[in-house]
Structure 1
């Protein structure tokens, strides 16, 4: 399993366990990034420490701060908005370039809902 795949698996188990998702923001709002496939994604992390690590280690995000989102708000409000805007969900991006899996909001919702009712 690749590092990105392992990070994605941890994302779902940790957000279910903790009941929250983390993003980052600055005075202009929440960041997005376009990947090599031309898909634009907004990053989210399963733990504050993972989001903070990207802020600390990726120059482009150095002026950002972490932001906690409760899981019901993320599923009901954020995923719907991302889907409407045609954005993907960046899952637990990591490393010097803050990279990882980008997944459709619909697939994220399905994974979370399936995990919550096991």
Structure 2
């Protein structure tokens, strides 16, 4: 399993266990950089400590603040809005280049709910 796949599975498992998702924001709002295909992806992490690490190693992210979102709000509000707007969900981006999987919102919901339903947390 590659690094991005490992980070995605960790994202699903930790969100299912803790029922919390994290994103970042600054005075301009939430970042949603373009992917290689031209689609936008908004990053989310499964823990605040992951954001803290990114802020230390990636200067472009240093000015952002972590924002905590409950699983219920993420599931019921964020994921439908991201899907409606055609945005992908960046899961547990990592490393100095701040990269990882960018996935469709319905897929992310399905994967997290699978972990919750199967008790694989």
> TM-score, with normalisation over the residues of structure 1?
0.96
| CA deviations over 1:59-104 (Å, ceiling 9, x no partner) | 1111101110000000110001100110000010001110000000
Aligned to 2:65: 65
Q: Cα RMSD (Å) of the superposition?
A: 0.9
CA contact (8 A) 2:24 2:67 kept: yes
Residue 114 of structure 1 corresponds to 114
Equivalent positions of 1:37-76 (< 5 A) are 37-76=37-76
CA distance in 2, matches of 1:56, 1:76: 31
Is 1:16 aligned to 2:20, yes or no? no
Q: Which stretches in structure 2 are left out of the alignment for 5+ residues? A: none
Runs (4+) of structure 1 exceeding 6 A deviation are none
User: Aligned residues, how many?
Assistant: 118
Q: What is the CA–CA distance in structure 2 between the aligned matches of 1:61 and 1:110, rounded to whole Å?
A: 29
